[in-house]
Structure 1
């Protein structure tokens, strides 16, 4: 995707759709990321924070230990990879232009499913969720079955 943002805008703490990983290339501008690892306790706190409806009253990082939230300032020309499930907030210091994308992979399937479950619990609307997530997981299962057994359940005419 291409993301243009004006200086002084803030994207509140969130987990990217479906627990997807993200690549993020900052072409122009400057951004601050606050990063919180997806531990069981942080994910539980995040879920409670979302369900509380108090996002305007409570900065999510304040709920975590001071050592748990790290900050990075992205400079023009930097490319940043955000792993599956990481909770993060973003502040735009200068007008910015970003190229990026979300992707699922086989290294963190349990985390992706856990985030998908959280999205269901907190009622994230479908339009903000990873498209065809369940269908994609069925193809992943099919791939593992094929690799382990040599058997495929997908029609050859596809």
Structure 2
């Protein structure tokens, strides 16, 4: 008897996506600390999945898993789903939508046995994951516990359930790690993963899920701390080679380039990210739409639903982080051409933003 995932996939529900190339991970293979990926037409993956099920959830191709598919971006007119309001204060996707480069909204589709190796989410963002159908098992570790799950070379474990972690020579601190929080996620349930919680996830059945990475004023300081730590790590690794590098190019510029290649963002892009969020909030507070019908776009409607006090809070958080950045020595070393605006002028603009009714002025100290 077909399960809900099979009924959904093998019906005509996704006819419009047949020829769409989708990213497919091979869960049966390891590449560094992840699974190797390939691109294949969606209909080819569906055919593979049919055969995989018919063969007792086995295939010479391995266990394949559609991961990180930007379905919403590929088919914006289909309005496949709406983000729950609890997760709608989403600066990360707001920014990437604005610059029209990327997004962090994904659909995952995988057969029973597919899984995701141990990791923490991009930029130390939050994530939420909604099971449309199927069941998942989550193993989650609080921030800091991942340090006990590194091998003797400092590499993070690929699979925290693997017997090799019992080898004290390879994983000398494994016994100090706490037991993971284990959660079984049923169909129709949404799980929220806080910033910095490393996790490993299994599909216990054929499963379809929606997953977003997201950031906002409540975990912005964690992202900023993460970026500082990443830059420090790059500096430690590279400084011993400093004398062999081309002195015509600033070593500090090199640090930023390498950090961006590793994490996906550098200090200049982070500053632009904050500017985008601040500009959107100031525009919203200045226009003060009286009802949703007066909102110009989806972002305004989202800000309206959250309310002006929320927008004012967002500005306070941007102000707080920008003030920290301006006192940061590495940020001071940025080439001015790396920024499309003057941070000091933006700070003044934020401080002068009109307060929301019932809120303290934006320039009031953050607590």
Q: Is TM-score (shorter-chain normalized) higher than 0.5? A: yes
Match of 1:25 in 2: 130
Residues 103-136 of structure 1, C-alpha deviations (whole Å, 9 max, x = no match): 1111122322344456564888848746954532
| 2:195 paired with 1:58 | no
Which of 91-100 and 120-129 deviates more? 120-129
Cα separation, 2, equivalents of 1:148 and 1:88: 37
| 2:196 paired with 1:85 | yes
Cα separation, 2, equivalents of 1:81 and 1:54: 23
Instruction: Quote the offset at 1:101 in angstroms.
Output: 0.8
Match of 2:351 in 1: 149
Q: Bigger relative contact order, structure 1 or 2, given CA contacts below 8 A and separation 6+?
A: 1
Aligned residues: 145
TM-score of the pair, normalised by structure 2: 0.33
The structure that is helix-richer by fraction is 2
Residues 20-68 of structure 1, C-alpha deviations (whole Å, 9 max, x = no match): 11111100111001111114xx25446x4584365364389x55123xx
Cα separation, 2, equivalents of 1:114 and 1:43: 17
Q: Go from structure 1 to structure 2 and tell me whether the alpha carbon gap of 1:124 and 1:75 turns closer, same or farther (over 3 Å shift).
A: farther
Q: Go from structure 1 to structure 2 and tell me whether the alpha carbon gap of 1:75 and 1:125 turns closer, same or farther (over 3 Å shift).
A: farther
Q: Over alpha carbons, which structure has the higher Rg?
A: 2
> Where does structure 2 lack aligned partners over 5 or more consecutive residues?
1-105, 235-257, 280-314, 320-346, 354-367
Match of 2:207 in 1: 96
Match of 2:217 in 1: 106
Aligned alpha-carbon RMSD (Å)? 3.6
> Any residues of structure 2 matched to 1:6-45 within 5 Å, and which?
6-39=111-144, 42-45=145-148
Cα separation, 1, equivalents of 2:146 and 2:277: 25
Instruction: Quote the offset at 1:141 in angstroms.
Output: 7.9
> Any residues of structure 2 matched to 1:95-134 within 5 Å, and which?
95-117=206-228, 121=233, 126=261, 129=264, 132-133=269-270
- For the 8 Å contact 1:13–1:89, the answer to whether it is kept is yes
Q: Go from structure 1 to structure 2 and tell me whether the alpha carbon gap of 1:88 and 1:54 turns closer, same or farther (over 3 Å shift).
A: closer
| 2:282 paired with 1:135 | no
TM-score of the pair, normalised by structure 1: 0.70
Cα separation, 2, equivalents of 1:90 and 1:124: 27
